[in-house]
Amino acid sequence: MRLIEEGYTRFNLKLKDSSFAVALRRLKTFYAWLTTAAIGTILIFSQLFRELSLVVALTVTYIFLFSSFSWFSIKWCTEHKKMLKQVAPLVIMLILTPFLMSLLYLLDPAVSNPFIASGLNQLATSFGFKFFVSLHPVVQGGISSVFILCWFVLCYVVSWLFAVPIAFCSVFVVALPVWFARLVDTIAPKQNFFGFTVVVYFVVSLLLLQL
């Protein structure tokens, strides 16, 4: 019994002094490994077992979706500036490409309209934007670049709306045991195991009263 008390005391002291940021990074790493394991499981089972059980397939798929979304949410909320710097050159290139294409026509009018070759005119017409075809190629390029810019802005906003709730759940998962350890230490600073039993007894009593 004494070994259990001493062992729990050491564990509780380490837990209550844990940093939320460090714990969140470890949880993100765990989600990354879980995602990798899920992908590996899907690839291996798809090759070895052609007739994979539907239950197994759905379970692994759900694990993959949960872990990958959780990993992305934590990474986006904690490192979004770093992620934006990494993708900024590609995003800028995609936004400016239509306008730069239109400059070819402006520099040499003999060159055919680049938006006809790319099929953007047909795409705009199919969506009901027939006026787009009659515009000057430079104006078409500017409109296309603005449209791509708005698309990326929308993706940025949606990423926050999607990532924040999931990241908040991850923070709660990390914070709950730390808060519990600090509560135990507050109740019984020198006898953490006794404080643990008091908290558990109190919680169980409340649950029994609700039945």
- Tens digits of residue pLDDT in 119-136: 566 666 666 666 666 667
- Decide: 101 and 142 in contact? Cβ < 8 Å: no
137-187 and 192-210 helices cross at what angle (nearest 10)? 110
Total domain count for the chain?
1
Question: For residue range 87-125, what is the model confidence (pLDDT) as tens digits?
Answer: 889 999 988 888 887 777 777 665 555 555 455 666 666
Banded model confidence at residue 180, pLDDT cuts 50, 70, 90: confident
Query: Tokens 């169980």 sit at which residue?
Result: 204
What count of other Cβ atoms lies within 10 Å of the Cβ of residue 112?
11
Structure confidence at residue 152 (pLDDT): 92
Confidence (pTM): 0.68
Domain residues for 161? 2-210
CA distances from 9 to 106, 192, 201 (A): 75, 5, 18
CA distances from 174 to 15, 25, 189, 200 (A): 11, 10, 22, 19
Task: Using the predicted structure, report yes or no on whether residue 39 has a pLDDT greater than 70.
Answer: yes
Least confident span in 6-10, 78-82, 156-160:
6-10
Considering 36-50, 52-66, 76-90, 98-112, the range whose residues carry the highest mean pLDDT is 76-90
